[in-house]
């Protein structure tokens, strides 16, 4: 699951970069992608933190 999430994050990051250079950074498409990337990054951070907490 963690590896799949990282692949999604990286793919979305690439698309976001491409769209950010094509459209204005305040374009609704770019903002929506950025928000989705934030959501995925938060989910990944939550998984990593929970793993570390369960280690102790």
DSSP per-residue codes, 10-46: HHHHHHHHHHHHHS-TTSHHHHHHHHHHHHHHHHHHH
Q: Give me the pLDDT at residue 56, please.
A: 66
Instruction: Give pLDDT tens digits for 2-18.
Output: 999 999 999 999 999 99
Its pTM stands at 0.88
DSSP 18: H
Instruction: Give pLDDT tens digits for 5-55.
Output: 999 999 999 999 999 999 999 999 999 999 999 999 999 999 999 988 876
All structural domains of the chain, each given as residue ranges with its CATH number in brackets, are 2-55 (4.10.280.10)
């Amino acid at each position: 699951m963690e590896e799949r999430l990282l692949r999604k994050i990286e793919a979305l990051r690439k698309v976001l970069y491409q769209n950010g250079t094509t459209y204005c950074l305040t374009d609704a498409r770019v903002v929506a992608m950025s928000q989705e990337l934030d959501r995925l990054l938060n989910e990944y951070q939550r998984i990593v933190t929970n793993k570390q907490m369960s280690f102790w």
